[in-house]
Amino acid sequence: MTTGLRERRKQEARQAISGVAMEMFAAKGFDEVTISQVAEAAGVSKMTVTNYFARKEDLVFDRAEVIIRSLADAVAARAPGESLLTAIRRDFAERIAAGDVTLGVPTPAFARMVQNSHVLTGRRREIADLCEQALGDAIAAESGVDDPQQRIVAAQLASVHRVLFAEGARRILDGQSRDEIRQILAEAARQAFDLLEPSLGDYGVKA
């Protein structure tokens, strides 16, 4: 079996397990379902589940690593002459227009499940903190210096995503449509980045 085919089958198996788990969590609640029950329903061993998902909450946040790397990847890919803020602003605008659910437009069932579990709300905060840390690490690696000022810049830039995710989830639970929320978040992000522009517009311009 080629490496590509093996990896594809692993990914398919991972997605299948996650899909079964999400159906069970939505029906019974995240805290009421065990890993053993997920394994039985998916037709695999408990060890198989834990091999793919180190923690139970990873079955819900199965794109955590992508989210954690998202801001760091956005600034790494920016063009010469582009600042950190410009790169992150553009990335947010493109992703929200494409309907990226990780920016704060989840399904009502997903938002409700997270809201109803302290474990999941804690993991969501942890992912946001790790995303900010990864951005700070990327800024430090690029400049060759790691100081509090850079970490503060990373926190300011990452805060837009953190606050708007919570806002989107709140509006979903209030019954607003996802299309409407996407428009609201896009405009809120524009205003937020405009506020940061005077102080950070020329910060971290890529040589």
Q: pLDDT category, 1, cuts 50, 70, 90? A: low
Which is more confident, 3 or 37? 37
Query: What does the alpha-carbon distance between residue 104 and residue 168 come to, in Å, rounded to a whole number?
Result: 5
pLDDT of the residue at 207? 87
Which is more confident, 5 or 98? 98
* In the predicted structure, residue 36 carries a pLDDT above the cut 80: yes
In the predicted model, what is the mean pLDDT of the chain? 93
Average pLDDT of the segment spanning 186-201: 97
* In the predicted structure, residue 74 carries a pLDDT above the cut 90: yes
| pLDDT tens digits, 105-150 | 888 989 999 999 999 999 999 999 999 999 999 999 999 989 999 9
Percent of all residues in the chain with a pLDDT value above 90, rounded to a whole number: 84
| pLDDT tens digits, 7-32 | 888 889 999 999 999 999 989 999 99
* In the predicted structure, residue 104 carries a pLDDT above the cut 90: no
Query: What does the alpha-carbon distance between residue 48 and residue 34 come to, in Å, rounded to a whole number?
Result: 14
Measured CA distances, 151 to 65, 92, 123, 132, 135 (Å): 20, 20, 21, 8, 8
* In the predicted structure, residue 3 carries a pLDDT above the cut 80: no
Token pair belonging to 36:
């053993």
Q: Are 38 and 59 in contact (CB under 8 A)?
A: yes
* In the predicted structure, residue 2 carries a pLDDT above the cut 70: no
* In the predicted structure, residue 90 carries a pLDDT above the cut 60: yes
